[in-house]
Amino acid sequence: MTPSAKRQAVGLLTAEHGLSVQRACRAVRLSRAAYYRPSVPRVLADHGVIDALEEVVKAQPRWGFWKCFDHLRWRGQRWNHKRVHRVYCALRLNLPRRTRRRRSRETVHPLDAPATLNHTWAVDFMTDTLYDGRRFRTLNVLDEGNREGLAIDVGMSLPSVRVIAVLDDLVALHGAPRALRVDNGPELTSLALTRWCAQRHIALHYIQPGKPQQNAYIERFNRTYRTEVLDAYVFHSITEVRELTAEWLVSYNTERPHDSLGRVPPLAFLPRPTAPQESTSALST
């Protein structure tokens, strides 16, 4: 029985049954001090916790409860974790969690990704929609050597000609990779892309149909991009998507720690030379 319910019971006993406040409080096991103490609405009592949580979540929208709680403790707030979690759930800030582990039914093929720039680039597509329902696609290119996002091209249509144009720009900037790891989409199996790779002596490593885990590095990159950009904002135009994507890609490569790289950003783990002619010859020997 909560204190507020006990106060109501005391009021009922004194008003309808004629008991004194002392006897009524003794009957429901509530101190008279607690009975006379004015009740404070929970919203007002938790005002400080609410403001602190909203400030943290606004700055870091993808942090879970324990990261928020540890951050508040680090800032000197001494609220009990149960109280903070109650407010956290009341504000509906708790993120969905996977409750069932999926068991792998197939053998995972190891990925050959030496810590060398321009050894293998992974290429993949993503799809999303604008606020008005129009669909757009993104072409993502990742260097598996240091997990650096080389490019994210956004457009309503991304045919093989557009893919080749993006790869041409990247080769001119960083040098040509030894191989491209791609799936079996029509843009990536086209004759135009096959000829382009053959002319530059770039091998095409196709994954098996229905096995995206064989291109796991860029699939993990895609998940981060979707979580932190595509699912985090409402876009009204392609221009908004491109501008925010460009800002996020710089932050991803230079600021965001990567767990598999020793918790440092990709360009801190393996910096990329600024001169295009140095990107292949100096590092691949």
Average pLDDT in the 6-24 region? Answer: 90
Q: How confident is the model at residue 2 (pLDDT cuts 50, 70, 90)?
A: confident
Q: What is the pLDDT of residue 91?
A: 85
| Nearest C-alpha neighbor of 130 from the set 247, 230, 243, 245 | 230
How many Å apart are CA 173 and CA 121, to the nearest integer? Answer: 14
pLDDT score at 277: 40
The answer to whether 193 and 187 have CB atoms below 8 angstroms apart is yes
Mean pLDDT confidence for 258-274 = 84
Q: Which residue has the tokens 């994210």?
A: 152
Nearest alpha carbon to residue 98 among 125, 64, 67, 59: 64
Is 110 in a helix, a strand, or coil? Answer: coil
The pLDDT of residue 107 is above 50: no
The pLDDT assigned to 106 comes to 39
Q: What distance in Å separates the CA atoms of residue 100 and residue 97, rounded to the nearest whole number?
A: 9
pTM: 0.58
Give the integer Cα–Cα distance in Å for 41 and 59.
28
**In this predicted structure, what is the pLDDT of residue 100?**
52
Q: Look up residue 35 and give its two tokens.
A: 């009975």
CA atoms of 207 and 14, how far apart (whole Å): 78
The backbone torsions φ and ψ at residue 20, rounded to the nearest 5 degrees and listed phi first, read -75, 160
Q: How far apart are CA 238 and CA 242, in angstroms?
A: 6
Instruction: Spell out the domain ranges in the chain.
Output: 1-39, 40-95, 120-281
Q: What is the pLDDT of residues 146-201, one digit of tens each?
A: 999 999 999 999 999 999 999 999 999 999 999 999 999 999 999 999 999 999 99
Encoding tokens for residue 186? 């029509």
- Is residue 13 over pLDDT 50? yes
Distance from C-alpha of 224 to C-alpha of 259, rounded to nearest angstrom? 13
Q: Three-state SS for 15?
A: helix
pLDDT over threshold 90, residue 57? no
| Overall average pLDDT of the 21-27 stretch | 91
Exposure string over 14-43, b if 16+ CB within 10 A, otherwise e: beeeebeeeebbeebebeeeebeeeeeeee
Residue 272: per-residue pLDDT: 82
Strand pairing class (120-129; 135-143): antiparallel
Q: How far apart are CA 285 and CA 283, in angstroms?
A: 6
Position 110 pLDDT exceeds 60:
no
Is residue 230 predicted with pLDDT exceeding 90? yes
Give CA–CA dist 83/180, Å, rounded.
Answer: 51
**Cα separation of 247 and 241, whole Å?**
10
Per the structure block, which two tokens stand in for 86? 């109650």
Tokens of 134: 């129009």
Give the per-residue SS3 of 200-269: CCCEEEECCCCCHHHHHHHHHHHHHHHHHHHCCCCCCCHHHHHHHHHHHHHHHHHCCCEHHHCCECHHHH
270 contacts 157 by C-beta, under 8 angstroms: no
Residues 89 and 99 sit within 8 Å (Cβ to Cβ): no
120-281 CATH: 3.30.420.10
Query: pLDDT-derived band of residue 42, with 50, 70 and 90 as boundaries?
Result: low
Task: Please tell me the distance from the alpha carbon of residue 284 to that of residue 90, in angstroms, as a whole number.
Answer: 54
Mean pLDDT value of segment 231-257: 93
